[in-house]
Amino acid sequence: MTHDLDHTLDAVGPRLKRLRLRRDITLADLAEQTGISASTLSRLESGLRRPTLEQLLPLARVHGVTLDELVDAPPTGDPRINLRPVTCADGSTILPLTRRPGGIQAYKFILPRAKGEQEPELRTHEGYDWVYVLNGTLRLVLGERDLILKPGEAAEFDTRTPHWFGATGAGPVEYLSLIGKQGQRAHVRVAPKLDV
């Protein structure tokens, strides 16, 4: 049990550093956001100091992850509730939000800031996609169109249309994606107007 705890705590430092670098912020910026000194943050990231709960709570909040994700706690209970993020080779993170088979699947994507001009690699597949930007600026290349979507903006399209998603040089981007089989579309409903 003590060995498992030691291993878990030793792995927190590199995870903290990856999260900070993915958000493209400095130790000074993180210190200002968390109230933890930059030197303490540096020692935590390098593994020279073990984190306390008082340090982990603001770090998890600022990075937008749960404590379980921050310390890579083993899954417990219903696996549909304990959804784990997938980190890709390009630095992007995909967080599945649904696990039921069939139907529309929901994901949260976090793409790192673009470094230089990115050459889009357009892809196609069966289905229908609806995207909604939470934070940052999303570049969506859709067929011949090159679109820029800002927080609160959405797009929907048939995924047989060649498409590509990317961040801009302005910073990382977070967006939600609802993907369904061909013919399944996300329907946005509004309350009917009341006659006054």
Per-residue pLDDT of the chain (196 residues; tens, 9 = 90+): 455 656 666 778 888 888 888 888 899 999 999 999 999 999 999 988 888 888 888 888 888 777 777 777 655 555 555 567 777 778 888 888 876 666 788 889 999 988 877 788 899 988 889 999 999 999 999 999 999 999 999 999 999 999 999 998 888 999 999 988 755 454 444 455 565 5
Q: Specify the amino acid at residue 122.
A: L
Cβ–Cβ < 8 Å for 22, 93: yes
The residue behind tokens 């992007």 is 92
Whole-model pTM: value is: 0.55
Cβ neighbours, 10 Å, residue 15: 17
Kindly give the pairing relationship between strand 86-87 and strand 93-96.
antiparallel
CA-wise closest residue to 166 among 193, 138, 125, 189: 138
65 neighbors 19 (Cβ within 8 angstroms): yes
